[in-house]
Amino acid sequence: MNHDLITSNIETVLIVTGALTAVGLAPFVTPSWVLRHTFGEVQSPASITLARHWGLLLFCVGALLVYSAFHPQLRAPAVVLASVEKVGFVVCVLGTSLRKRPIVAMMAAADAVMVLLYVLYLAGL
């Protein structure tokens, strides 16, 4: 991947990756379903609360990425914030048995690709 290609298309990259991240609102809306089908977990009041918070956080990060596509001065901070969140998720997944769950592993792989795109973009600044 050439970072010039990414830099010249950063608006599209931010809109697409932001929209994909914002879909993470699902745990906020349907926490029990997401916990059961994605993580295979039995729900407790604490896990429902954490899932809702996680979903809201993902939506906010995704919305910020999309917003930054139209506001160049916010791109670097938004990309750094999203990268920290995504690297944290990847590390948490790879460091636990969650890596064996196909949906979670796919989510972590997608986040890792997004971080790679963001790092290449930041390197082009």
Domain that holds residue 45: 3-123
Q: Provide the number of structural domains found in the chain.
A: 1
**What single string gives the DSSP state of each residue in 43-95?**
P-HHHHHHHHHHHHHHHHHHHHHHHHHT-HHHHHHHHHHHHHHHHHHHHHHHT
- Tens digits of residue pLDDT in 98-114: 999 999 999 999 999 99
Classify residue 26 as exposed, middle or buried by CB count within 10 Å of its CB (0-12, 13-18, 19+).
middle
∠ CA 86-100-87, nearest 5°, is 10
Per-residue pLDDT tens digits for 34-93: 999 888 877 899 999 999 999 999 999 999 999 999 999 999 999 999 999 999 999 999
**Type of residue found at 34:** V
| Of 38, 102, 82, residue with least CA distance to 30 | 38
